């Protein structure tokens, strides 16, 4: 991988654009489209989009959501900005680790296209905007929960849990599980059983979602000295835990059907959860090798669609059954 030296220039005194050489060379290499894409990647926009979606479901399920549409919009914008700040913080800490991972080695900080100082400024701007929007358009509880999620992921998970324990994704996943509750509180200003169950659903889904990817990328994690479960406890133990959490996710996914009486959601949750458990069973049964690695990657991809389907079913049930 080609290395980059972060150099300050008259047009870029902090080295934020971070390419080496003369100012003419810098201007030649700097492309606005690439820079905007790098900002998008730094904020982990694809991950944040799932957080915003689950928060939007929490808002839609909350009573009188249409009446409080301004708070709903403020909540979504605030969550998006705060989630982006958390993503930037994660990459500020890990550029050296990212260089050892095939799926992360081309990130802007890992390749030096954006400097760490520039990323810090970017994270601060995103977080400041998030706090301002949430303070203006929602309520103190929503702001506190959003800050807790951002600090939980960007600081607690990244700095302490990820490098120190193979169960990092279990406890670190709580930060990413909060958006449904945040969406609910943006509308109501209070906590209720249904959004708490939705938080629990994402919490138990996260290990079953992430550990198949960790199996697929286990060699990279070992090279980066990150204690992911497949590296510390082996593939068989990891596959057993994926199955355990897939079953637990299936069970928890049925609770909203009993709380709301929503049989449409209940049927979709039952069938999609059975498929998810079936995938975990097959992953557990496959012999170690390339086929298992490819299937683990497929299960990771399906798990995202699975969560999206569950939350879409909740909206469908709310719209059709009231």
Q: What is the CATH number of the domain that holds 8?
A: 1.10.357.140
pTM: 0.83
What's residue 160's pLDDT? 83
Provide the percentage of residues in the chain whose pLDDT is more than 90: 58
**Do residue 265 and residue 126 come from a single domain?**
no
Q: Taking 70 as the threshold, does the pLDDT of residue 104 lie above it?
A: no
Residue among 179, 178, 182, 158 at smallest CA distance from 169? 158
Q: Taking 80 as the threshold, does the pLDDT of residue 222 lie above it?
A: yes
Q: Domain tally for the chain? A: 2
**Do residue 5 and residue 130 come from a single domain?**
yes
* Phi, psi (rounded to 5 degrees) for 292: -65, -45
**Do residue 147 and residue 210 come from a single domain?**
no
Residue among 205, 188, 313, 299 at smallest CA distance from 262? 313
Lowest-confidence pick of 111-120, 195-204, 261-270: 111-120
Q: Taking 80 as the threshold, does the pLDDT of residue 13 lie above it?
A: no
What is the chain's mean pLDDT, rounded? 86
**Do residue 169 and residue 215 come from a single domain?**
no
Q: Is residue 216 within 8 Å of residue 238, measured between CB atoms? A: no
List beta partners, residue 12. Answer: 9
Domain range for 271: 198-322
Over residues 227-281, the pLDDT tens digits come to: 999 999 999 999 999 999 999 999 999 999 999 888 999 999 999 999 999 999 9
The angle at the Cα of 193, spanning 189 to 195, to the nearest 5 degrees, equals 65
**Do residue 157 and residue 52 come from a single domain?**
yes
Q: Taking 60 as the threshold, does the pLDDT of residue 29 lie above it?
A: no
**Do residue 60 and residue 179 come from a single domain?**
yes
Provide the percentage of residues in the chain whose pLDDT is more than 70: 86
Which segment, 9-18, 28-37, 166-175, 293-302, is predicted with the most confidence on average?
A: 293-302
Q: Pick from 191, 210, 244: which residue ends a domain? A: 191
**Do residue 174 and residue 271 come from a single domain?**
no
CA distance 70 to 53: 17
Q: Taking 50 as the threshold, does the pLDDT of residue 313 lie above it?
A: yes
**Do residue 135 and residue 254 come from a single domain?**
no
**Do residue 157 and residue 257 come from a single domain?**
no
């Amino acid at each position: 991988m080609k290395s980059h030296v972060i150099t300050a220039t008259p047009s870029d005194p902090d080295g934020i654009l971070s390419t080496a050489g003369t100012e003419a060379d810098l201007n030649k290499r700097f492309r606005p489209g690439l820079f905007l894409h790098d900002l998008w990647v730094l904020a982990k926009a694809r991950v944040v989009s799932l957080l915003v979606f689950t928060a939007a479901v929490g808002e839609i399920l909350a009573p009188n959501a249409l009446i409080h549409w301004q708070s709903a919009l403020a909540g979504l914008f605030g969550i998006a900005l705060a989630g982006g700040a958390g993503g930037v913080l994660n990459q500020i800490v890990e550029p050296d680790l990212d260089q050892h991972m095939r799926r992360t080695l081309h990130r802007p900080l890992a390749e030096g296209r954006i400097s760490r100082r520039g990323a810090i400024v970017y994270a601060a701007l995103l977080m400041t905007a998030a706090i301002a929007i949430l303070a203006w358009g929602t309520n103190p509880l929503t702001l506190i929960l959003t800050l807790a999620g951002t600090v939980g992921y960007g600081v607690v998970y990244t700095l302490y849990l990820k490098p120190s324990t193979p169960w990092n994704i279990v406890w670190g996943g709580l930060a990413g599980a909060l958006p449904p509750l945040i969406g609910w509180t943006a509308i109501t200003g209070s906590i209720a059983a249904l959004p708490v169950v939705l938080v629990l659903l994402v919490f138990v889904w996260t290990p079953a979602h992430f550990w198949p990817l960790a199996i697929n990328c286990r060699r990279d994690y070992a090279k980066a000295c990150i204690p992911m479960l497949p590296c510390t406890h082996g593939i068989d133990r990891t596959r057993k835990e994926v199955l355990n959490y897939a079953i637990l996710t299936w069970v928890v996914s049925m609770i909203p059907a009993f709380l709301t009486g929503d049989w449409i959601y209940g049927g979709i949750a039952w069938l999609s959860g059975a498929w998810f458990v079936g995938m975990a069973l097959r992953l557990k049964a496959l012999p170690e090798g390339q086929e298992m690695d490819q299937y683990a990657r497929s299960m990771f991809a399906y798990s995202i669609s699975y969560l999206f389907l569950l939350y879409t079913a909740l909206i469908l049930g709310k719209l059709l059954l009231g």
